[in-house]
Amino acid sequence: MSTPRPSTTPTRPVLPAPPLPAAGAGWALLFDVDGTLLDFADDPGSVRVSPALLALLHDVHAATEGAMALVSGRELDDLDRLFERPRWAAIGLHGLELRQASGSFRRVIVPQAGQDHMHREVRALAARFEGVQVEDKQLAVALHCRRAPEQLARLHGAASELMARLPGYELQPGHQVLEFKPAGMDKGRAVTELLQRAPFAGRTPVYLGDDLTDEHAFDAVNRRGGFSIRIGEREPSAAHFTLPGPAATEAWLTRVLHALTHGAPTHARLPHGGPARQP
């Protein structure tokens, strides 16, 4: 009887829970929205923000002196609707839209003819797949498979073929979604841009995200010596820390707020049971 050979496939160590800051630590907090702060819904338009989470985010915004931002694939108008039009910095459409803490705004401009062509092609593609939802974001179009997950693999193949007819656009896969958007911008580039301006400049960036679209931001934050926090269990990931889901994000953020305003005790414990470290 032969002895089975041990596996030579390297395994990544289990990611630890994220740390808590010391009182007054110069953190800049950046949050993905769907899947990180909020649970997913079959219809992205049906998602709601609880009053408790909204109040917590306002308190964190104050505790960080405004160095807090939402970073989402949603349009900024949609983020403002969800969060009741806060005066926060925000990145929308994976970086195609960006609002600084000062209120200044920039939006990537693309030719209207190219936009119209992309919309026609993507809608025609979606019509071939039963159960696939079309989300029109103006600059981008997302095709959701949450109601028909069995369609995702075939849709991805067809979408990849379509890209040859959409110069200047790129395909962004996500959680049960494929998004067609103008090429050349992603969450990592937008986060880097945001971190160059007050009140983010000079602070330690802390980024929380759950999806493939957040990997660019994890890389950007890691290069700056920050904290990259994956929400959920998706692998592989460039993140250095993890939390299991939006409920754990809210619980950890409550502790972060207390630590920033009162200090983190040396015996503080985190959602996964790991000891807190105080950067």
Distance of CA 223 to the CA centre of its chain: 17
42 is catalytic: no
For residue 219, give both structure tokens. Answer: 């890389």
Q: What share of the chain is helix, strand, coil (3-state, %, to 5)?
A: 35, 20, 45
For residue 59, give both structure tokens. Answer: 């308190």
Buried b (16+ CB within 10 A) or exposed e, 143-178: bbbbeeeebbeebeeebeebeeebeebebbebbbbb
Helices (H), 9-126: 51-63, 76-82, 112-126
Taking the C-alpha atoms of residue 38 and residue 33, their distance in angstroms, rounded to an integer, is 6
Tell me which DSSP letter residue 114 carries: H
Taking the C-alpha atoms of residue 138 and residue 173, their distance in angstroms, rounded to an integer, is 18
Preceding omega of 199 cis (within 30 degrees of 0): yes
For helices 152-162 and 112-126, the axis angle rounded to 10 degrees is 150
Give the up-direction half-sphere exposure of residue 164: CA atoms within 13 A in the CB hemisphere.
Answer: 4
Q: Which residues are part of the catalytic machinery?
A: 32
